[in-house]
Structure 1
């Protein structure tokens, strides 16, 4: 019974290293029900004997006295074993079982006319089923069956009555042992299944977080590659075509002063076309360089493609970020999404809003619909977000939002 009361299979802590693990776990409702049933059985034996003592007077006083003394010892030890009475340092379970066996045997042998006394043997077997292995239980049932036989013989039950009494109570003890051991195995199987489920959930969360990190890295690489290609094209246009068009415009300017008539008119038109082309090239170069920092929304959409979490994204069209700011924003959103996957049980939605206020500050707001947190401490992820934002001169505000979802708000000047 001890292992059931403590919520741990017998011997589970034997291999643990280190200091005392602390107080045992609180009994479960099933543990309390089992202990209560044992207490009721013990009390029923005591009440039955009390009634018999009042109704019958042919039992010697000495036998009654010994019976009650042994019974009270049994009841006190069982109260400790069932944790009805809690001791600061309870004796080992096996010691309690030995005392229960001795007390019940003394009571039965001292007053074998009390036919209900062997019920204590059944209670003892049930209480010891968690602490003893199969050989120990077999030995326990055997010893108590011998005590049952001695008491039945002293009561004069004869050749038929003694074996019958032994078989009946041995069967009851066996049934009690099988029932308790089966309940223990089922409880252990449920605990292992729950642990496996928790491990699978943790693995799933880790995989989802790794997926988010990979998507963020891929998105940043894609944006960086596109930006690098745009900048390369812009430089080539400016350095090669722009230079050639500038030289062409100068040559046409000189030519316009050396020709006259119809040729001068054609040279003037060619010079105008060259200048227009040079202006267009400069416009394209400016657009390419300005567009190099415009990949925020596609990058965030890649990051927010998360399994098991519906996401919504809103990015103001006025938000354009350079490489450093874009990386910081994407990583902050990725970390907030990872936190929702790992630490927000029950969260099904994640909302992300990116906007620019009138002072040129970009605000990133990430909010999930989980239960939030009453007591929490920032981990490495939130500290990393804080460091990224602070390095850019911004601020990070974390609202654990107990009962209303976890919210992270970053404000970064641009």
Structure 2
């Protein structure tokens, strides 16, 4: 209801911060977690494979194995930080972590090229860096890591066939990982754009519904004002024309009753009685026309034709309002209804009750939406408050978290 909190209203919108260059956003949070877990599993698998190799048939020098394990440890820690698997108050810059990953994997591979699973770390690095780098940056990274792969394979003595074969295998793995991540990012971007478009359409729909309700309220008030003016005109005409003529006729018949006798006097008396009855009926009709101004219920029914909301309207039939109170109540009910359309997602029912409570007229509007945990009055509620206060009344708001939003206005009758 024209409030800020949960649910969030369409209040003030902050401007988007400027960006240096548009690029696809990172995958959504579940995809981030899944990718981080898969990458960490691949890193652990490389470490487990090296443990098995060292314990069984590794013929690498101890110094080479020591350097490999040191570089691998640095890589594992850097990847855990980059994937935010280790919670820190202040995360290191992502680009620095990517550089550490590249250097650590390269050192491990060149120091101990007999560790066949080490280039898998290049694949993990390519996947992790894709969300950070531009497409040309990813190509450059894959190229650099492929050159390091070739250097390590050459140091391992894999020959003219083994070196290109090793490079081709791990370069293709890196490219595949980068393409998969890039595709996931584009899909996430498409989902975000679709969600944003849907939210924008919903906001436009709510604004149109609110504008429609405002137009109907204005039309209903104009119609009620026109009907009241027409009733008053008819009442004046009946009083000034017909009432005056009947009064004159009754006086003439009164005079005639004193100047005739016999059977004529009897007819004059009956005519005089009919004239008095007609005059009394005219006065009754004039009184009803003047007292019937302010057709609140039909006006509210026009205002509360709200799309998507079932409205339960209850108006005290004996209630009579002047123009100022009629306008204030109709506008308050209209604003509460349009607020339910805008700010109460999931609301399907709106209960409106207008009744007399002692010396006051009480207006209660309650929707069945989720309410609000925290809220601040917007322009709509402030306008309602001002209208009610101008008539010497009060406005109470119950955000009702979990039980719907309620607005209650009381104005002197």
Instruction: Please give the TM-score of this superposition, normalised by the length of structure 1.
Output: 0.88
Match of residue 3 from structure 1: none
Provide, for residues 199-219 of structure 1, a one-character-per-residue CA deviation record: whole Å limited to 9, x for no partner: 111111111111221111111
Distance 1:183 1:17, change over 3 A: closer
**1:10-409 paired onto structure 2 within 5 Å:** 16-17=17-18, 28-56=29-57, 58-259=59-260, 264-293=265-294, 295-357=295-357, 359-409=358-408
- For structure 2, which runs of at least 5 residues remain unmatched after alignment? 1-15, 20-25
Offset, 1:360: 4.4
Shift of 1:90: 3.9
> What is the aligned-residue RMSD (CA, Å)?
2.4
> 1:47 & 1:101 partners in 2: Cα distance?
20
Provide, for residues 235-267 of structure 1, a one-character-per-residue CA deviation record: whole Å limited to 9, x for no partner: 111122222332333344344445556555554
Over 3 Å counting, the alpha-carbon distance change for 1:26 and 1:179 in structure 2 is: closer
C-alpha deviation, 1:17, in angstroms = 4.2
2-structure distance, mates of 1:153, 1:135: 27
Structure 1 residue 86 displacement after superposition: 4.5
Partner of 1:6: none
Name the residue aligned to 2:13: none
Greater CA deviation, 82-91 or 109-118?
A: 82-91
For each residue in 1:85-139, what CA deviation from the matched residue of structure 2 results, as whole angstroms up to 9, or x when unmatched? 3455544433322232222112111111010110011001000111112211111
- Measured in 2, the distance between the counterparts of 1:26 and 1:371 equals 30
SS in 2 for 1:104: helix
Aligned length: 393
Q: What whole-Å deviation, never above 9, does each CA across 1:18-37 have from its counterpart, x for those lacking one?
A: 9xxxxxx9982321121121
Q: Which stretch has the larger CA shift, 120-129 or 283-292?
A: 283-292
TM-fit CA distance, 1:172: 0.6
Q: What corresponds to 2:12 in structure 1?
A: none
Take 1:57 and 1:74, find their aligned partners in 2: how far apart are those partners?
21
Offset at residue 349 of structure 1 (A):
0.8
CA–CA distance in structure 2, aligned partners of residues 74 and 188 of structure 1: 30
The 2-side partners of 1:101 and 1:155 are apart by 20
Instruction: State how far apart, in whole Å, the 2-side matches of 1:314 and 1:91 are.
Output: 62
Whole-Å Cα distance in 2 between the matches of residues 40 and 271 of structure 1?
110
CA contact 2:27–2:184 (8 Å) conserved in 1: no
Shift of 1:155: 0.8
Q: Which has the higher contact order (CA 8 A, sep 6+)?
A: 2
Q: CA deviation at 1:68?
A: 2.3
Unaligned runs of 5+ in 1: 1-14, 19-24
Deviation for aligned residue 1:292:
1.7
Please give the alpha-carbon distance, in whole angstroms, between the structure 1 residues aligned to 2:370 and 2:213. Answer: 22
Describe the shift of the 1:339–1:178 C-alpha distance in structure 2 as closer, same or farther (beyond 3 A). Answer: same
When structure 1 is superposed on structure 2, of 157-166 and 177-186 the one drifting more is 157-166
